[in-house]
Chain A
Amino acid sequence: MRFLLTDEQREFARTLDGMLGASGTPAAVRAWAAGEHKPGRDLWARLAETGVFALAVPEEYAGVGPLPLELAVAYVELGRHAVPGPLVETAAAAAFLARLGDTGAAVAWLPRIASGDAVVGLCADGAPFALDADAADAVFVVRGDTVCRTETHGPVQPSLDPARRLSRPLGGTVLARGPAVTAAAAHAGDTARLLTAAQALGLGRALLDETVAYVKQRTQFAVPIGSFQAVKHRLADGLLALEFAQPLVHAAALALARDAACAGPEIAAAKVAAGEACYAAARTALQLHGALGYTDEPDLSLRIRKARPLRDAWGTPAECRARVLAG
Chain B
Amino acid sequence: MDLDFTAAEDAFRAEARAWLTEHVPATPLPSLETREGFAAHRDWERRLAADRWSVVSWPEEYGGRGASLLQWLIFEEEYYAAGAPGRVGQNGISLLAPTLFEHGTEEQRARVLGPMATGEVIWAQAWSEPESGSDLASLRSTAVRTDGGWLLSGQKTWSSRATFADRAFGLFRSEPTAPSRGTPAHSRPEPHQGLTSLMFPLDAPGVAVRPIGRLDGKPAFAELFLDEVFVPDADVIGEPGQGWRVAMSTAGNERGLTLRSPGRFTAAADRLTALWREAADPGDTALRDRVADAVIGARAYQLFTYGNASRIAAGGSIGAESSLNKVFWSELDIALHETALDLLGPYGTLADDADDAPAHGSWSEGYIFSLAGPIYAGTNEIQRNIVAERLLGLPKGRR
Contact = CB atoms under 8 A, between A and B. Distances in A.
A and B: interacting chains: yes
Nearest to B290: A321
B387 A236 contact: yes
A3 B214 CA distance: 40
A251 B303 contact: yes
Given A2-B1, A244-B301, A244-B328, A239 B391 contact: yes
A313 interface: no
B388 interface: yes
A321 B287 CA distance: 11
A144 interface: no
Contact of B397 (A227, A237, A239, A250): A227
Interface residues of B, number: 49
B343 to A, nearest CB: 13
B376 to A, nearest CB: 19
Contacts of B307: 3-4, 247
A206 to B, nearest CB: 14
B314 A2 contact: yes
Given A232-B388, A244-B301, A247-B306, A239 B395 contact: no
Contacts of A3: 1-3, 303, 306-307, 309-310
Interface string B326-363: 01100000000000000000000000000000000000
Given A228-B397, A232-B388, A235-B388, A269 B296 contact: yes
A238 to B, nearest CB: 9
Given A5-B1, A236-B388, A239-B324, A321 B300 contact: no
B70 interface: yes
Contacts of A247: 300, 303-304, 306-307
A273 B300 contact: yes
Contact of B276 (A216, A223, A325): A325
A220 interface: no
A216 B394 contact: yes
Given A3-B310, A324-B292, A324-B295, A244 B273 contact: no
A281 interface: no
Given A226-B395, A273-B300, A4 B314 contact: yes
Given A227-B394, A247-B303, A325-B292, A232 B389 contact: yes
A226 B394 contact: yes
Nearest to A237: B384
B285 interface: yes
Interface in A234-277: 235-237, 239-240, 243-245, 247-248, 250-251, 254, 266, 269, 272-273
A1 interface: yes
Nearest to A322: B288
A148 interface: no
B397 A325 contact: no
Contacts of A272: 292-293, 296
A15 interface: no
A318 interface: yes
B377 to A, nearest CB: 16
A224 interface: yes
A113 interface: no
A38 interface: no
A7 to B, nearest CB: 11
A273 B389 CA distance: 24
Interface string A205-233: 00000001001100000011011110111
Nearest to A73: B1
A320 B395 CA distance: 38
A224 B395 contact: yes
A23 interface: no
A120 interface: no
Contacts of A317: 289
A320 to B, nearest CB: 8
A9 interface: yes
Interface in B381-399: 381, 383-385, 387-389, 391-399
A120 B2 CA distance: 31
B310 A2 contact: yes
Residue of B292, B324, B385, B389 contacting most chain A CB atoms (<10 Å)? B292
A203 interface: no
Interface in B253-311: 273, 276, 285, 288-289, 291-293, 295-297, 299-301, 303-304, 306-307, 309-311
B5 interface: yes
A4 B310 CA distance: 7
B4 interface: yes
Nearest to B273: A325
A1 B394 contact: no
B397 A223 contact: yes
A97 interface: no
A244 to B, nearest CB: 4
Given A235-B388, A251-B303, A1 B70 contact: yes
Given A233-B384, A321-B292, A6 B395 contact: no
Interface string B1-43: 1111100010000000000000000000000000000000000
Interface string B135-173: 000000000000000000000000000000000000000
A1, A228, A229: residue with the most chain B Cβ atoms closer than 10 Å = A1
Contacts of A4: 1, 307, 310-311, 314
14 contacts: A1-B9, A2-B314, A69-B1, A216-B394, A231-B394, A240-B387, A244-B324, A251-B299, A272-B296, A321-B292, A324-B292, A324-B295, A324-B296, A325-B295
Given A3-B303, A321-B296, 20 more contacts: A3-B3, A3-B307, A4-B1, A4-B314, A9-B1, A216-B394, A216-B395, A226-B394, A229-B397, A231-B394, A232-B385, A232-B392, A239-B392, A244-B328, A251-B303, A269-B300, A272-B296, A321-B292, A325-B291, A325-B295
Interface of A: 1-6, 9, 69, 212, 215-216, 223-224, 226-229, 231-233, 235-237, 239-240, 243-245, 247-248, 250-251, 254, 266, 269, 272-273, 317-318, 321-322, 324-325
**5 A-B pairs with least C-beta separation:** A227-B397, A247-B303, A232-B388, A321-B292, A236-B387
